[in-house]
Structure 1
């Protein structure tokens, strides 16, 4: 039973009911985001089990990301058409069923299909969870709701490598999907029992016109763009006919979608919110924050496993503990937002901290252990905290109540696209910098270099002591030096990638002056937060 507390003309859950709603919605958001990264550490095991190449197995990640980025901007419309609670429940059930079928897949393309379906179900769990969570708090406390939701945004991608690493090291790869099933069952039951329906939700279906053409253009445009970002590096970008065709489809789809949505009476996504200056410029920061959040979580695990010799589980733990350290800052920052504090100082601090994190990461060495990375990753977490929640607040400031649904959905989509762009950038940049560093380093591998000769002789003598065969020892020494050359080249390339992300943050820093920083009263914040919740 839900115990309600009257707040003027509105009602909000209290006590255990509110706690259950918070637990359900934050868990759903964490679960959706966790599945964006949990698969990364299991690709080798899945590839071996299904007999697929590493290139083909990447579709397991790509299909989920494409489905996510297509569905997220439509969540406001779909929630209004079907009713928010109905849509949330259906998405939760679909996510759970697809997770079970992913774990039972016998072929690669069967797994790819169910990952796509899983992404469709998961796309609703971000924006809709956020709206339900907002409804659980009275107006003046909704900054705290933003803080709790922000914890989920950061915790989800960070938990993925550690949870996935532990499961892969100790169980089967299918268990990374099966773990979602009991969570979905519990969340579904709690949603049925404790999440209230808004008055009249889902009953206005007859008055809503579905923009089918707009949905098709969205799928073609955004889906093709996400495909390019995910697969461009492996396909050699525009040297590939496939990528060139997808680029043409993306351009036609996006331009057509924008034109359609700006001129139709019933848009599936309200793009007119970009006419609001604050939302438009906040979107740039949201995009860059997505680049920083997802790129850092992508590059770091690859680097420490390839260079420092971490296991997947050790890699996850080295990300998890710094993140847990900074999580309490989210509700604290939420309270500051509730009191009417301007988000701009926090955005500036977050940009500077994240920029410092990128350059600080450049001081890492190949022999650092898990705890040696703790201060570096703590800096990443702190920068993320200072950016995510204030940007959620800033992006919807100044929007009309009827525009909040589109604003929140577009913000979540832009963050996901930023992550895809960042990962694509990282893949391409690492490849380029690896080649450059290898060329620079190999120039020192000459008989005229006394350091090279000394190193070569030391390695050769070590192999000779074991085998006694000078010819074999010489060959092994050259092979060992080749491996060291590759390792050092990749290591320097990864450090360069962290630095280039910092440059992105510094480049957008001057745009902060274009954001509105007027301090709001608690009553204004309550009214805006209420409108945000009701828009879903």
Structure 2
């Protein structure tokens, strides 16, 4: 196994090209997860669809992603890594072109699903290729380079999407993938090597039931998370049915993988303690990364009235900070600083970011108030991503690296889906609660309340409205103000709870096995 692992290590120019190719592919896939968010309104208009229909453009991609991610290691072994990686890039690129040319919403949703099938493979295979192209002592740096793509990607999506939609039209958010996809395919075919991992399976040995159980478990779960809040969770029969399907899908999938001779996902690799802890940490990281990337643009657009481009640009300094942190942390891990300490500091800093956001939120918060908390967020994400991924894969070797990367990738995506689903639910429930409390304090017999209504009424009358119309508008303005205040309070609550969740994680991080921090050459055998 040692020679096999050493055969894949690259040096000099070849390693630079392979690294650029892998990061480019990871970026393509991740930018496409968030770039669509800012174009939904334009799609709705030009394709004549409802907002619920358009939401499927995001859902279809996410479902395809999480179904394919756990299968990537197995598919790489079946078709050869280079061929599978190249085929995934081609599927992603061709379906990007078809998405841009879609003539109705369901065509677009179908092509987005196909695009997600190609894209999910890019993420994990890119991580495996980078990890195996570097000698074991430099794995921390390898994960830092890969991490720059994964962390910066979600943030690049909204401003890039906003710019393309404002200056061109929504199909260009898909067309932009085409030249990059062609370059990545050529580089992959020329430079990426395929490891030799035993025999391919015959068609009758393929774990078809495993694929069915995995797809029903993950696909149903993703749907429930994406649509739960808008369909009022368990009040909706579809959500109930899919929750049951997901639960039994999971049970049957685990049973099948542990009893079948040729499982599609090797669950036994989770016997590695570091990988187990790493996958849980990846889930929490996904929760914080995608949750905060989702919540901040919505807050700035809905409450502060910013444009999509401005909302997207707000997150750029945070990403640049993460980018600066990545190589520094990669070097620290190489020098033997225990990953557990770095992760604990990362969680502490992320708590600092959420608490700072909690304390500055008002209906008038400006860019200048959010700049430094977001820089802190960038530092926290840098401290979390590299140590967590290096730690998760640090004691794996050979084909286990690909299998481990599939678990960490899947858990990060699922963490993001859970994060967004829980945050949207909390915001709507907390807003209702705060609204009730605020209205209870609005006593119409109080002098201040009467004075405020009178001021507003006089203002509307001065614009030419009748006394009764002005009074009606004054009451509506107060109702709007209460709604805005209660929404801001619910965002504050969400940031506070996110912070508490990160604080609770710190003691668990410190339980990580000592000595797992420094990756030494003996782990490759």
Please give the range of the TM-score, normalised by the shorter of the 2 chains. Answer: over 0.9
From 440, 444, 449, give the equivalent of 1:452: 449
Q: In structure 2, do the counterparts of structure 1 residues 7 and 51 end up closer, same or farther at CA, with 3 Å as the change threshold?
A: closer
Aligned to 2:296: 300
Distance 2:368 2:517 in 1: 42
Aligned to 1:183: 180
SS at match of 1:265: coil
Show CA shifts across 1:289-331 (max 9, x none).
Answer: 1111111111111111011111110011100122113312101
From 218, 227, 232, give the equivalent of 1:231: 227
Aligned to 1:356: 352
1:36-185 → structure 2 map (5 Å cutoff) = 36-185=33-182
Aligned to 1:440: 437
Question: 1:400: how far off?
Answer: 5.4
SS at match of 2:510: helix
Asked whether the 8 Å contact 1:292–1:501 carries over to 2, the reply is: yes
Show CA shifts across 1:332-359 (max 9, x none).
Answer: 1112222333110011011111122222
Asked whether the 8 Å contact 1:281–1:514 carries over to 2, the reply is: no
Q: In structure 2, do the counterparts of structure 1 residues 99 and 428 end up closer, same or farther at CA, with 3 Å as the change threshold?
A: same
Aligned to 2:217: 221
For the pair 1:314 / 2:332, whether they are aligned, the reply is no
Q: In structure 2, do the counterparts of structure 1 residues 428 and 467 end up closer, same or farther at CA, with 3 Å as the change threshold?
A: same
1:188-203 → structure 2 map (5 Å cutoff) = 188-195=185-192, 197-198=193-194, 200=196
Q: How many residues align?
A: 521
Distance 1:417 1:128 in 2: 18
1:469-488 → structure 2 map (5 Å cutoff) = 469-488=466-485
Question: 1:65: how far off?
Answer: 0.5
For the pair 1:369 / 2:366, whether they are aligned, the reply is yes
Asked whether the 8 Å contact 1:282–1:515 carries over to 2, the reply is: no
Q: In structure 2, do the counterparts of structure 1 residues 288 and 48 end up closer, same or farther at CA, with 3 Å as the change threshold?
A: same
Asked whether the 8 Å contact 2:6–2:135 carries over to 1, the reply is: no
From 388, 398, 419, give the equivalent of 1:422: 419
From 199, 208, 212, give the equivalent of 1:204: 199
Q: TM-score, normalised by structure 1?
A: 0.93
Question: 1:276: how far off?
Answer: 2.8
Q: In structure 2, do the counterparts of structure 1 residues 90 and 478 end up closer, same or farther at CA, with 3 Å as the change threshold?
A: same
Distance 2:195 2:422 in 1: 46
Distance 1:281 1:515 in 2: 7
SS at match of 2:35: coil
Distance 1:362 1:138 in 2: 43
Aligned to 2:282: 286
Distance 1:8 1:515 in 2: 26
For the pair 1:19 / 2:16, whether they are aligned, the reply is yes
Question: 1:146: how far off?
Answer: 0.9
Q: In structure 2, do the counterparts of structure 1 residues 442 and 89 end up closer, same or farther at CA, with 3 Å as the change threshold?
A: same
SS at match of 1:467: coil
For the pair 1:340 / 2:300, whether they are aligned, the reply is no
Structure 2, unaligned stretches of length 5 or more?
Answer: none
SS at match of 1:124: helix
SS at match of 1:58: helix
Question: 1:284: how far off?
Answer: 1.9
Distance 1:398 1:321 in 2: 34
Distance 1:78 1:125 in 2: 12
Q: In structure 2, do the counterparts of structure 1 residues 361 and 69 end up closer, same or farther at CA, with 3 Å as the change threshold?
A: same
Show CA shifts across 1:228-271 (max 9, x none).
Answer: 11111111111111011101110111000001111112111111
Distance 1:9 1:145 in 2: 15
SS at match of 2:370: helix
